[in-house]
Amino acid sequence: MEIRIQGKNLEVTKALQDYARKKAAKISKFFEQEPLEIQVTMSVERERHIVDITVSVNGLLLRGEEKTGDMYASIDGAVNKIERQVHKYKTRINRRLREENRVVLTSPEETEEAPEPKIVRTKRFAIKPMSVTEAVMQMDLLGHDFFVFFNAESEEVNVVYKRRSGDYGLIEPEF
């Protein structure tokens, strides 16, 4: 298990690192085999202590974010969110990981399977090469929260999206 801890606009103390490692390590109890990668990012914005934890298990991503007035409480909240995700989707995650001959999820208590998502609409559209700036403008013109486009610079399919903060994000695939 690899746990990476980083701070944004914040120097992460040894005590915070130890606490985050201890809490993040609790997530490994749900998986029989390792290759777990856990990324913990701590930041402070407008007196809010924000912790974002991303867990990668052979391509499966789990993410928990918490904002409170205390960094320790934010760490606890983010870990709890990931644990709730694991409990809620335990059966579906197990099935996916088993089908791919990967790790098997373990859990102290059984949980019900969440209902399968229902796809109610499929869209098809032509993708034309454009810059990231053009894609953001197109997304705003359409009034959407995300936009899929062919990045003329990288020559790959990318996604731009609007973040809760009002800023934008770019998703670039990594193969």
Backbone dihedral region for residue 108 (phi beyond 0: left; psi -120 to 50: alpha; all else: beta): alpha
Q: What is the pLDDT of residue 92?
A: 73
Dihedral, CA atoms, 144, 149, 152, 155, nearest 10 degrees? 150
Alpha carbons 26 and 156: distance in angstroms, whole number:
37
2-99, what's its fold? Double Stranded RNA Binding Domain (3.30.160)
Q: Is the pTM of this model over 0.85?
A: no
* pLDDT score recorded for residue 70: 93
8 Å CB contact between 131 and 139: no
The correct CATH number of 129-171 out of 3.30.1370.100, 3.40.605.10, 2.40.30.170, 3.30.505.50 is: 3.30.505.50
pLDDT for the residue 153? 93
Task: Please state the domain extents for the chain.
Answer: 2-99, 129-171
| Residue 157: per-residue pLDDT | 94
Three-state DSSP string of the chain:
CEEEEEEECCCCCHHHHHHHHHHHHHHHHHECCCCEEEEEEEEEECCEEEEEEEEEECCEEEEEEEEECCHHHHHHHHHHHHHHHHHHCHHHHHHHHHHCCCCCECCCCCCCCCCCCCCCCCCCCCCCEECHHHHHHHHHHHCCCEEEEEECCCCEEEEEEECCCCCEEEECCCC
Nearest to 132 by CA among 156, 111, 114, 116: 156
Q: Contact at 8 Å (CB) between 47 and 63?
A: no
Supply the pLDDT for residue 29. 81
Which pLDDT score, from 0 to 100, does residue 107 have?
Answer: 54
Strand order, beta sheet including 36-45: 2-8, 36-45, 48-57, 60-68
Tens-level pLDDT at each residue, the chain (175 residues): 789 999 998 889 999 999 999 998 888 887 766 568 899 999 998 889 999 999 887 677 888 999 999 999 999 999 999 988 888 777 777 776 666 655 555 554 544 556 777 888 888 877 889 999 999 988 888 788 999 999 999 999 999 999 988 899 999 988 7
